[in-house]
Amino acid sequence: MAQAQSLENAHVQHHFRSSDQQFSSSKLGMWLFLFTEVMFFGGLFVAYIIYRAWNPELFTMAATELSTVLGGINTVVLIGSSLTCALAIRAAQTNNQKMIVNYLLVTIVLATVFLVIKYFEYTAKFEVGILPGGMYTFEGIDHPKASVFFSIYYMMTGLHGIHVIIGIGLMIWLVVKARAGAYSSAYYTPVEITGLYWHLVDIIWIFLFPLMYLID
Amino acid sequence: MSAAATNGNTLKVRYFDIDENPPKNYLNAESGLKSWLFTVDHKRIGLMYLASIALFFFVGGVLALVLRTELFTPAENLMNAETYNRIFTLHGAIMVFLFIIPSIPAALGNFLLPIMLGAKDVAFPRLNLASFWIYSIGALFTLASLAVNPIDTGWTFYTPYSVQTGSAVILMTFGVFIMGFSSILTGMNFIVTVHKMRAPGMTWGRLPLFIWAMYATSVIQVLATPVLAITLALLIMERTLGIGIFDPALGGDPVLYQHFFWFYSHPAVYIMIVPAFGVISELIGTFSRKTVFGYWAIAMSSLAIAFIGSLVWGHHMFVSGQSELSTVVFSFLTFFVGIPTGIKIFNWLATMHKGSIDMKTPMLYACIFLFLFTIGGVTGIMLGAISVNVQLHDTYYVVAHFHYVMMGGTVMAFLGGLHFWWPKMTGKMYSEFWGRISAVIIFIGFNLTFLPQFIMGSQGMPRRYYSYIEQFQTMHQLSTIGSYVLGIGFVIIAVYLAHSLWKGEKATSNPWGARTLDWMTSSPPLQHNFNYQPVVTNGAYDYHKPISDFTLGISDDVYHGNDHEGDIRKQSAETV
């Protein structure tokens, strides 16, 4: 009997008393981590608020340089990826091994599409001399602090982009494990907490998009 | 057969005798360097932190003695002004980021938190090991900056100077940035462990006060440290790309840097001192042989400090060009944070009142703490008053204040805790005689070092100067002599603690007669802390109950991997 129990609970690390305890611990840990992420980005949002309060006209002028269409497409892409990510978790809960992998792959593709669009946005900016900080040479915006807006833009979207790349890495790892049949309704903690992370990456973008692109 | 009537399950439990001499404990269960460097055992990780912070305390301490030696006369004794700037920066940065922030939480906290909760380990053991490695990598970056071009900005890295100076600001701040993640991961791990890993019957009201303090500290670590990370990331970007957020030459705002920096670094002061409060609660309860007075007041005041302490950062910037309104608000909130701190002090005194006080070395340190920390705290309230602050800003008065809090508070509590848990961690008793002697030497040396600094500061001696006008010479010399006395005290501690490892008497499982779970396992503890799942039916400070009531355990299948073979005294059914 003891052996049967240990097979069923093979995923439970020895210091946990039960599978439930392990699952809820992992989830709480992830929520706390997301909280630190909010504080991390929070510093940048505060910088944004302060510089916008000081230079409101700069922000409305500079925002016109950003492509609302590309930003809008990216928003839809990222929200879509959050949906497929949630569906992957649902597939794990219903023991649908094949669909876990498929939904994760779709999520990875959408995340990659986001990065590709972002790449074209960045390079278009670089070509006209909109570079971060001291390298800024663009003359289309008649404001002495124009470079500061784009510094904040690059810091925020760049940091967000790094988070997207990390998310893709995590999901590739999940796909490999899921292919080997590691996840089922009895154990899908990594899928669940990666999903939490991915939703946060999505939400940060949902704040970044209107703050950067949709200022009027 | 006690039947604690709370809502919960009734468990079949047994009373165990503590196995005093288990053949295997956490120190000898595995051997070799790899078994330490890649261990996921919270106790071994705690010891590795302890060794690291001891090393950095030594380095920072030697730097402090070098500074004091330079200040023996107003002349250029050892170094020029530039070298002095670098040395005091390194002293500050090493003591703050490498020693005092990880001191109690990462060393003692890692070792004790799971045992006190009756758990086998922290919730995420591998993350715990990762946090130690991240700390080590961060420390390497910091040391690399020392080799390349020691930084001269002061430990606060204020812009615009930190953007202009030629010293290795990027290496240093990147090191601190990395170490911040170590702190965040430890905090997360502890919060989850306290929430999810408590033994059956370990209710929130039975948590040792050390755990409450660690919990409040972890909340601050998780809340504030990410802001330091983004601040330092922006500072690094400012230096490399010139992003113009903090640099006034590019349209940035240096006061914004100060806001960001102190939004972390003031709460960080509470990351340093709140764990010390936890240690003191344990020491005073144990050595007064009395239930801690005002358990909930002490527990909740830790959280209150964490909360209010996050809203006082502006008191570092009273003369930086902050608006008058925010200055007044920050000043008021600074006074306000004194209330929960005062609540703690009075509850400790009430605990000692009519207790059977046993002046062992740890308790001696607890009393030194009460004395020194109260001076440090009250002078902090004075500095929170706007007009006084303007007068005393950047003088030795501030230096003396934070040394009374950080060293007189945290370091004394750390030393008390180190002696208290030394038998548990190493299985050996230290020399009580030398323990008391060195405690007295440290007390004298400390006051000789820092009391004159209060006087000098109030007379206008500015901080961070390698020279001074002659009227301050007597005070500076007293202070320097005091620092040497302090140094001798620490050398004595190092000698007799090291000696105890080889020649020390074998420690019993509970040499102090304490009631918390860390004393319910052998000294040193077993590899997985307990051979059975402990059950808790008493409070952490129930000194009115006999010690035999305190060793309950479940021996059922609830805890897989149960291999207890010890004697079972009796069985009972407990509702937990």
Q: Is residue A137 part of a domain?
A: yes
Q: Report CB contact under 8 Å: B533, A50.
A: no
Report d(CA B344, CA B237) in Å as an integer: 42
CA-to-CA dists, residue B151 to A13, B140, B163, angstroms: 44, 15, 12
The partner residue sitting opposite A6, judged by closest CB among B195, B241, B560, is: B560
Report d(CA B395, CA B460) in Å as an integer: 6
Q: What local confidence, expressed as pLDDT, does residue B552 receive?
A: 81
Q: Which residues in chain A have their CB less than 8 angstroms from residue B188's CB?
A: 29, 32-33, 36
Q: Which domain holds residue A69?
A: 19-213
To probe the interface with B, which of A6, A30, A36 has the most B CB atoms within 10 Å?
A36
- B265 contacts B259 by C-beta, under 8 angstroms: no
ipTM of the complex: 0.92
Q: What local confidence, expressed as pLDDT, does residue B575 receive?
A: 65
- B180 contacts A40 by C-beta, under 8 angstroms: no
- B95 contacts B189 by C-beta, under 8 angstroms: no
* Average per-residue pLDDT for chain A: 91
Q: Is residue A4 part of a domain?
A: no
Q: What is the pLDDT of residues B274-318, one digit of tens each?
A: 999 999 999 999 999 999 999 999 999 999 999 999 999 999 999
> Is residue B565 scored above 60 in pLDDT?
no
> Is residue A216 scored above 90 in pLDDT?
no
pLDDT band for position B184 (cuts 50, 70, 90): very high
How many CB atoms are located within 10 Å of the residue B54 CB? 15
What tokens does B532 get? 């059975």
Q: List the 471-530 stretch of B: residues with Cβ below 8 A of A.
A: 528
Reduced to 3 states (helix: H, G, I; strand: E, B; else coil), residue B412 is helix
Q: Is residue A14 part of a domain?
A: no
Cis omega (within 30 of 0) for bond into A210: no
Q: What local confidence, expressed as pLDDT, does residue B566 receive?
A: 52
Q: Is residue A64 part of a domain?
A: yes
Q: Is residue A12 part of a domain?
A: no
Q: What is the pLDDT of residues B152-162, one digit of tens each?
A: 999 999 999 99
Q: Is residue A116 part of a domain?
A: yes
CA-to-CA dists, residue A75 to A117, A149, A209, angstroms: 11, 21, 7
Q: What local confidence, expressed as pLDDT, does residue A92 receive?
A: 95
A53 touches chain B (CB under 8 A): no
- B128 contacts B41 by C-beta, under 8 angstroms: no
pTM over 0.90: yes
pLDDT band for position B8 (cuts 50, 70, 90): low
Starting at the earlier edge strand, list the strands of the sheet with B552-554: B533-534, B552-554, B10-16, B568-575
Question: Among the CATH numbers 3.40.630.10, 3.30.1490.20, 1.20.210.10, 3.20.20.70, which is that of B10-575?
Answer: 1.20.210.10
Q: Which residues in chain A have their CB less than 8 angstroms from residue B187's CB?
A: 32
Higher pLDDT, A7 or B533: B533
Q: What is the pLDDT of residues B312-363, one digit of tens each?
A: 999 999 999 889 999 999 999 999 999 999 999 999 999 999 999 999 999 9
- B305 contacts B139 by C-beta, under 8 angstroms: no
B229 touches chain A (CB under 8 A): yes
Q: What local confidence, expressed as pLDDT, does residue B556 receive?
A: 54
Report which residue type is found at A105.
L
Q: What is the pLDDT of residues A181-197, one digit of tens each?
A: 999 999 999 999 999 99
- B413 contacts B427 by C-beta, under 8 angstroms: no
What tokens does B12 get? 């079949």
pLDDT band for position B473 (cuts 50, 70, 90): very high
Per mean pLDDT, which range of A127-131, B6-10, B262-266, B332-336 is the poorest? B6-10
Closest residue by Cα to residue B245 from A36, A44, A216: A44
Over residues B66-80, mean pLDDT: 93
Report d(CA B467, CA B478) in Å as an integer: 16
B260 touches chain A (CB under 8 A): yes
* Average per-residue pLDDT for chain B: 92
Report d(CA A138, CA B79) in Å as an integer: 48
Give CA torsion, residues B513, B514, B517, B521, to 10 deg.
Answer: -30
Q: What local confidence, expressed as pLDDT, does residue A2 receive?
A: 42
Q: Report CB contact under 8 Å: B226, A39.
A: yes
pLDDT band for position A3 (cuts 50, 70, 90): very low
Q: What is the pLDDT of residues B19-54, one digit of tens each?
A: 888 889 999 998 999 999 999 999 999 999 999 999
Report d(CA A48, CA A40) in Å as an integer: 13
What CATH number does residue A46 fall under? 1.20.120.80
What tokens does B474 get? 């007597």
Nearest CA in chain A to B244: A148
Q: Is residue A182 part of a domain?
A: yes
> Is residue B88 scored above 60 in pLDDT?
yes
What tokens does A125 get? 């900016």
What tokens does B40 get? 């996921």
Helix axes B125-148, B169-196, angle to 10 degrees: 160
Which residues are bridge partners to B16 per DSSP?
B568
Q: Radius of gyration over alpha carbons of chain A, in Å?
A: 21
Domain definitions of chain B by residue range:
10-575
Q: What local confidence, expressed as pLDDT, does residue A71 receive?
A: 95
Q: What local confidence, expressed as pLDDT, does residue B13 receive?
A: 79
Q: What is the pLDDT of residues B98-113, one digit of tens each?
A: 999 999 999 999 999 9
Q: What is the pLDDT of residues A127-145, one digit of tens each?
A: 998 988 778 888 888 888 8
Q: Is residue A127 part of a domain?
A: yes
For residue B43, give how far its alpha carbon lies from the nearest alpha carbon of chain A (Å). 14
Q: Report CB contact under 8 Å: B245, A152.
A: yes
Alpha carbon B480 to chain centroid, angstroms:
26
